[in-house]
Amino acid sequence: MESHQNSQTNQKDLKRLYDLYLHDVYKYCLYFTNNHAEAEDLTQDTFIKVMKSYPSFKGDSSEKTWILSIARNTTVDYFRKRKIRDFLPDIFFSKTNAPLYDDPEQHWENQEEWKEIQHALTKLKPAYRNVVILRGLQELSIKETAAILQCKESKVKVDYHRALKQLQNYVSKHEEGGFQFHEDAK
C-alpha cells in the first residue's frame, strides 16, 4: 500500500513540476532551436528525463535549476547530434503570441528589430548564447545560471559581459529607432 501512495505522491509532484516549469523549459528550448516543433519535442524529452530521474533528485539545487539543467543537457545533446549552429527562433513574437499594439506598424517594426537582434545572437559562440538566454532572456540569477551551465559564477559574469559586448558590435541602434545588424563585426 505504501508503494502505491509513494507512486501517487510522485505523480502529484511531477504534475506540479510540469505545471510550474513547462513554460520556462519550452522558452529555453525555443530560444535554442529556432523552431517551435523542435522546442516542443525537446520540452517533452526534458520532462520525460525529469520523470525518470525525479526519484534521485536530492534537492541540492532548486527544482527550477535542476529542470533547466536537464533542458540544457537535452538541447546540447540534440544539437551535438545534428550539429546545428542557429539556436534562436526566427520570430520571437509569433502572430499568436504577439503583444497587442494600438499601431500595427509598431508591431511589425518591433518584429523587424527582434529579427536583427536574433541574427546577432546566432553569431555568438554557444557558451555566450547560453549565458545570454539564461541571464538576459530567462532572467535567471547568476547563481542559477552557473548551476545550470555547471560553471563558476565568475565565469557567468565574464561570459555575460563579453556576450553583451559582442552583441553591441553586431547590432547598433539607429537614432530614429530600430536596429541594424553588422555582418562584418567581430
pLDDT > 70? residue 164? yes
CA distance 64 to 16: 12
Query: What is the CATH topology of the domain spanning 105-181?
Result: Arc Repressor Mutant, subunit A (1.10.10)
User: Please, which residues bridge with residue 125 across strands?
Assistant: none
pTM above 0.85, yes or no: no
Numbered ranges of CATH 1.10.10.10 in the chain: 105-181
CA neighbours within 13 Å on the CB side: how many for 119?
Answer: 17
Average pLDDT, the chain: 76
pLDDT confidence tier of residue 184, bands split at 50, 70 and 90:
low
Structure confidence at residue 16 (pLDDT): 93
| More confidently predicted of 89 and 140 | 140
Determine which of 24-38, 53-67, 85-99 has the lowest per-residue pLDDT on average: 85-99
Structure confidence at residue 59 (pLDDT): 87
| More confidently predicted of 122 and 67 | 67
CA distance 178 to 61: 40
Contact of 71 with 46, CB cutoff 8 Å: yes
**Other beta carbons within 10 Å of 64:** 18
pLDDT digits (tens, 9 = 90+) for 122-143: 888 989 989 988 888 787 889 9
pLDDT > 60? residue 161? yes
Numbered ranges of CATH 1.10.1740.10 in the chain: 2-82
> Residue 137 carries which DSSP code?
I
Structure confidence at residue 1 (pLDDT): 45
Give the percent of the chain with pLDDT over 90: 37
| More confidently predicted of 117 and 97 | 117
Query: What is the CATH topology of the domain spanning 2-82?
Result: Rna Polymerase Sigma Factor; Chain: A (1.10.1740)
